[in-house]
Structure 1
Amino acid sequence: MSFLPFVSVIVPIYNGEADLPPLLACLQAQTYANFECLLVDNNSNDRTAELLNEIEDPRLRSLKQSEIQSSYAARNLGIQNAKGEILAFTDADCRPEPNWLEDLIQPFCDPAVGLVAGEIKALPGNTLLEQYADRQETLSQKHTLNHPFCAYGQTANLAIRAAAFKEVGLFRPYLTTGGDADICWRILRETAWQLRFAETAIVRHRHRTTFSELQSQWRRYGRSNRYLHDLHGIDLMREPQFGEYRYRLLRWILKEFPIATLNLIKGKAAFVDLINTPIGLFCLHARAQGQRQATLSPQAHTIEPLIQQPQNSLN
């Protein structure tokens, strides 16, 4: 490899006690060596701070963001203290594959590229909800890269040039969801930087395993849509009416379920195929609830400039 820029990996962490050991193992196994990692504790109340203090690898540094409870505020603290010309983002509950950084930074060979999204795939799971989400590719960047308003990458697997933050500012620190779309749209719509997709730069993420977790996930998607509507004027998701729910359930009972049952008997389908439609309607309803109930706070409009700390002040 002739293209070896210094990369700063930034990971916001809230109550990541269980996730830190496997995450650190994945970061230390990277085939790309020219990087640092800033692990930002966002006011955790478990053993996260203790585990961070035990890290001995000089490439891994810990910071603490306790003023604002937001993953975007935590990422901003990492950005302000980063040394790299390229900033790569992932989350504590993600598991980057060994070639993640190596493949993620290659599109930056083109000086016009300011953002690169890698792919997000599922960690192995056995529950019906995990199987459903895996079939739907719920976490895949292919959905967000094809957003009808403007493409964007999710911060579970996204890299951005530090120079782009200098032009548009940082993440909105008081935003609680939708900040990945917001930062990408500000860069793509306000500057000349281009976005690329690095499909082989993979991080793996857990799918939700319970209906309460699934409901929370899709309500968050709905809130994100409302916030992005207020910030950027995107179309709100049309909420399905009762008749649409009834029609889809009847179609499932009378047509889809019998066909899936027959295929299951023949060995051509799995049990999860029997209940795709009910789970899908559950997610649709949760997203509509989140969109309807969300209210964007005035603070969420705040954008802070990039003011990098002097190198001798870094931990």
Structure 2
Amino acid sequence: MSTGEPTVSIIMNCFNGSRYLRQALDSVVAQTYRNWELIFWDNQSTDDSLLIVQSYKDPRVKIFINDHHTTLYAARNLAVGQVTGSLVAFLDTDDFWEVDKLSQQVPVFIDPEVGLVYGKYWFRDESGDSVYVGPAGDLPTGRILPTLLRSNYVGILTMIVRRSVLQKLDGPFKERYEVIGDTDLVLRVAKGWEIRAIERPVATYRWHDSNDTKIKAVRHAEEWVDWLTDTGRLRAFIDSPGFESRRTMIYKEVARCIVRKKNWEPLKKLYSESQNWSEKVFRVLNVSIYVSIYLVGRGQPKTC
């Protein structure tokens, strides 16, 4: 399509996603912004996912079938390698967009300093009810790395990122991750570029028992420990004003795994990958403090 408007390449990774797939696809086809392509990357599905997507005869829907099953972030990277647009968006098969999502966000990229645009989103439960809108309050915008280190604001289903930005990073997604790769990507983008926000819901996140964030809670904590003990990450972020807040969040998450899951693996990883004895003691002491707080009921662990 030659309209003079930037092409948005939409990445949809699929593995046995037939349950909600049609609603996700319909929300793409219905976009009021018309200059898009859908990179549908099937990761060896065994359900009806391929039959469903093949029923869409729109030439903008481009179907790729992986020759072997990979992790999610490996599949995301492979799909990114197929894009032709200057802007890249992501939509999972169980989520869906508002019809004007792209129309609202694409014009923001007229500012060359902007690397990523995101927005609010609805949370919908399995009954189909849209429960609430998040994140709460005004969304941060600008050079916001310290803010994003303190709290996770950017949902991947709402964001669009410049393809040129992804090309300048050390790989879009770190394939060793299974859960935190989205947040890790956003933090790396925020280090070098401005981020802008749309102050209203542009998508709906479906909350159900198969969400990775629900079934991989311990893995989530282990990956944040990996992030914290990665020397490259430390060099990149340790001087940011928000780094200490992120480190505290990680200690709390490790403590929650101990209290809620009776799982000590994240703490063992945190201990074993410390550089010296003083660091080992410091980290274990901090986690122990939060374990004590949770056990005496001063704070109730909500995740993990």
Normalised by the size of structure 1, how large is the TM-score? 0.67
The AA in structure 1 aligned to 2:89 is A
Mark the CA change 1:65 to 1:31 in structure 2 (over 3 Å): closer, same or farther. same
The AA in structure 1 aligned to 2:79 is G
1:120 corresponds to: 121
List runs of 5+ in structure 2 lacking aligned partners: 235-245, 256-289
Which secondary structure does the structure 2 equivalent of 1:116 belong to?
Answer: strand
State the number of aligned residues: 246
Mapped to 1, the partners of 2:161 and 2:100 lie a distance apart of: 18
**1:180 aligned onto 2:182:** yes
Which secondary structure does the structure 2 equivalent of 1:18 belong to?
Answer: helix
Mapped to 1, the partners of 2:179 and 2:137 lie a distance apart of: 17
Mapped to 2, the partners of 1:140 and 1:154 lie a distance apart of: 15
Kindly state the Cα deviation for residue 222 of structure 1 after the two structures are TM-superposed: 2.4
Identity of aligned residues (%): 23
Partner deviation per Cα, 1:138-165 (whole Å, 9 max, x = no partner): 7999599843358763322211111112
Which secondary structure does the structure 2 equivalent of 1:241 belong to?
Answer: helix
The AA in structure 1 aligned to 2:224 is N
Mapped to 2, the partners of 1:213 and 1:175 lie a distance apart of: 12
The AA in structure 1 aligned to 2:197 is F
Normalised by the size of structure 2, how large is the TM-score? 0.69
List runs of 5+ in structure 1 lacking aligned partners: 250-279, 287-315
1:226 corresponds to: 225
Partners of 1:151 and 1:185 within 8 A in 2:
no
1:244 corresponds to: 294
Kindly state the Cα deviation for residue 166 of structure 1 after the two structures are TM-superposed: 1.8
The AA in structure 2 aligned to 1:60 is V
Partner deviation per Cα, 1:259-294 (whole Å, 9 max, x = no partner): xxxxxxxxxxxxxxxxxxxxx63x34x2xxxxxxxx
Mapped to 2, the partners of 1:35 and 1:199 lie a distance apart of: 23
- Identify which of 170, 173, 194 aligns with 2:172: 170
Mark the CA change 1:94 to 1:87 in structure 2 (over 3 Å): closer, same or farther. same
Partners of 1:116 and 1:196 within 8 A in 2:
yes
Kindly state the Cα deviation for residue 229 of structure 1 after the two structures are TM-superposed: 1.5
Partner deviation per Cα, 1:231-262 (whole Å, 9 max, x = no partner): 3245132323245333348xxxxxxxxxxxxx
Structure 1 range deviating more: 197-206 or 38-47: 197-206
Mapped to 2, the partners of 1:141 and 1:43 lie a distance apart of: 40
Q: Which has the higher contact order (CA 8 A, sep 6+)?
A: 1
Mark the CA change 1:90 to 1:230 in structure 2 (over 3 Å): closer, same or farther. farther
